C-alpha cells in the first residue's frame, strides 16, 4: 500500500492507496500530521511507500520521522516523472501541476490532454499525445476574484460563491456574482475552444476544489475528478518504484 501526503498551508490531505484505488482519504490540520501518521501505522500495517508534496511546509522532524518508518519520496522538480517536461523553467513548475499531468498520463495515455485545476488559482496544463508537457496558464480562482473585488475597492462587499441567475446583475451583489462566476466560466470555455481548434481530439480534465461547482455549468465535455492530484502523486510513487 502507498500513503500520499499532500501538504497545504493549513491542512494536509492523506490518502491510502491499494494499487490504483483510494482505500481511504483524510483531511487534517497540519499540526496533527505526526499523530495521524502514528494512527495510520497501526491501522494500515502494509503501507510501505510514501510520497510527500509541498515538503517545504513540513518541519524537519516530521520528514525525518516519516523517512525512518517508510520508503519516502519527496516530490520536487528532480523527481523522475512519467512524461517529458518541456517547460522552459522546470524548477519553477508547481509540484501540484506535475502531479496533475502525471495523473493524465496514467488515465489517458497517448492523448492530447488539457488539465484544468480550479482551486485558489485556475491552472491550465497541456500534454501532447507524444507525452510532451508544453506548459499552460495560471489565472485567479473564484475566491481570489471575489476577494480582490473586496480588497482592492472601497465599497464592494465580500460575497460567498453563488451561481448567478442571469448574466445581467440588477444589484451590486448579483453584478459581482455574474462578473466572477460567468467570467470564470467563459474563460474556461474560451481556453478549451482555443485548444480544441488546434487539437480536435482533445481530452479535457477538470479538478480542484471548485470542480463540482463549475462542471455543472460548463458546456464543454469534460472528465471531472476531485481526486486527480492525489491519484497523480500515487502514480509518480508507483513510477519511481518500478
Kindly list the catalytic residues. 96
Taking a C-beta distance cutoff of 8 angstroms, is the pair 51, 236 a contact?
yes
What does each C-alpha distance from 46 to 4, 18, 40, 52, 116 come to in angstroms?
14, 10, 10, 18, 34
Taking a C-beta distance cutoff of 8 angstroms, is the pair 102, 83 a contact?
yes
For 122, the enclosing helix (H) or strand (E) is strand 121-127
CA-wise closest residue to 164 among 213, 91, 199, 128: 213
Does 101 appear as a known binding residue? no
Does 59 appear as a known binding residue? no
Does 145 appear as a known binding residue? no
What does each C-alpha distance from 205 to 54, 98, 126, 235 come to in angstroms?
23, 14, 10, 17
Does 67 appear as a known binding residue? no
Does 184 appear as a known binding residue? no
Does 87 appear as a known binding residue? yes
Does 26 appear as a known binding residue? no
Residue with cell 488539457: 114
Does 123 appear as a known binding residue? no
Does 163 appear as a known binding residue? no
**How far is residue 54's CA from residue 201's CA, in Å, rounded to a whole number?**
33
Strands 49-53 and 2-7, by their bridges, are: parallel
Does 133 appear as a known binding residue? no
Does 94 appear as a known binding residue? yes
Taking a C-beta distance cutoff of 8 angstroms, is the pair 71, 48 a contact?
yes
Does 124 appear as a known binding residue? no
Binding residues: 6-13, 87, 94-97, 117, 120, 172
Binding residues for K(+): 117
Binding residues for ATP: 6-13, 120
Binding residues for substrate: 87, 94-97, 172
Amino acid at each position: 500500500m502507498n500513503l500520499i501526503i499532500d501538504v497545504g498551508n493549513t491542512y494536509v490531505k492523506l490518502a491510502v492507496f491499494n494499487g490504483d484505488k483510494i482505500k481511504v482519504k483524510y483531511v487534517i490540520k497540519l499540526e496533527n500530521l505526526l499523530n495521524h501518521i502514528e494512527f495510520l501505522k497501526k491501522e494500515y500495517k502494509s503501507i510501505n511507500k510514501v510520497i510527500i508534496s509541498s515538503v517545504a511546509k513540513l518541519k524537519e522532524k516530521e520528514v525525518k520521522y516519516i523517512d525512518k518508518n517508510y520508503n519516502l519520496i519527496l516530490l520536487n522538480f528532480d523527481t523522475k516523472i512519467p512524461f517529458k517536461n518541456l517547460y522552459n523553467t522546470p524548477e519553477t513548475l508547481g509540484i501540484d501541476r506535475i502531479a496533475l499531468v502525471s495523473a493524465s498520463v496514467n488515465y489517458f495515455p497517448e492523448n492530447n490532454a488539457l488539465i484544468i485545476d480550479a482551486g485558489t488559482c485556475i491552472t491550465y496544463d497541456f500534454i501532447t499525445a507524444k507525452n510532451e508537457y508544453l506548459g499552460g496558464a495560471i489565472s485567479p480562482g473564484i475566491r481570489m476574484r471575489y476577494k480582490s473585488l473586496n480588497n482592492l475597492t472601497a465599497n464592494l462587499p465580500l460575497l460567498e460563491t453563488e451561481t448567478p441567475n442571469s448574466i445581467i446583475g440588477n444589484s451590486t451583489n448579483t453584478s459581482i456574482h455574474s462578473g466572477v462566476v460567468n467570467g470564470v466560466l467563459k474563460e474556461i470555455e474560451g481556453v478549451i475552444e482555443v485548444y480544441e481548434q488546434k487539437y480536435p481530439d482533445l481530452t479535457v480534465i477538470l479538478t480542484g476544489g471548485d470542480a463540482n461547482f463549475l462542471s455543472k455549468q460548463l458546456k464543454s465535455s469534460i472528465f471531472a475528478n476531485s481526486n486527480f492530484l492525489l491519484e497523480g502523486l500515487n502514480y509518480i510513487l508507483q513510477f519511481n518504484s518500478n
